[in-house]
A and B are shown apart, each in its own frame.
Chain A
Amino acid sequence: NAGVTQTPKFQVLKTGQSMTLQCAQDMNHEYMSWYRQDPGMGLRLIHYSVGAGITDQGEVPNGYNVSRSTTEDFPLRLLSAAPSQTSVYFCASSYSRRTYEQYFGPGTRLTVT
């Protein structure tokens, strides 16, 4: 199993550009989520999905879109990048049961200039 994979590892965007951060998992996990990590802020939830076709907003959803067309993939879209979106982004997944562990991808460091 590859676990949770994220691409790219690093990305630099100009203000106003759009891009998609990719996230995939091969563990057949129903639950997937996106977090952003900023210095001194911990990890904050952006969006999450409890299964294919179902998504919901987290704590900081503005400026981001998600969709979940398959169980494996959960891409995060930035429609018009802003410097405030400079951050490290983590994708995580877990089984949809009374279980506990979330598995994290390696993260994407995004810089918006």
Chain B
Amino acid sequence: AQTVTQSQPEMSVQEAETVTLSCTYDTSESDYYLFWYKQPPSRQMILVIRQEAYKQQNATENRFSVNFQKAAKSFSLKISDSQLGDAAMYFCAYRTAFSGNTPLVFGKGTRLSVIA
């Protein structure tokens, strides 16, 4: 079974600075998807960024980018120019690409605080 590990329960960053959240995963599959979800205090789960394992290029969405290291099974999230609105729980998640009918496997989350 696949597992996802987020080793940093809490992180903090100064406003306008850059922070990197870590995620590692364990799988024997070669084709899969990786995600970062943001959960603000409103509780809503918001997709931040996704990465297809067969793509070597790292995904980027505005201030959010990932460092995908397939051989190392690592998938970190970099937030540039941090803003107060970035304060939230961040979850790393894995989904097999073998079939569309598969659930997400989540890490335990990293709580990010942004200091003004």
Contact = CB atoms under 8 A, between A and B. Distances in A.
A43 B106 contact: yes
Interface in A55-99: 58, 88, 90, 92, 94-99
Contacts of B9: 40
Interface of B is mostly: loop
Nearest to B104: A102
A42 interface: yes
Nearest to A90: B45
A100 B101 contact: no
B100 A45 contact: no
B43 A106 contact: yes
Ordered nearest first, which 9 A-B pairs have the shortest CB separation?
A: A104-B45, A50-B101, A42-B108, A42-B106, A97-B100, A100-B33, A43-B106, A96-B100, A45-B103
Given A101-B50, A109-B43, 16 more contacts: A30-B101, A40-B9, A41-B108, A42-B91, A42-B107, A43-B106, A45-B103, A45-B104, A48-B103, A88-B43, A94-B100, A95-B100, A96-B100, A98-B100, A100-B95, A104-B44
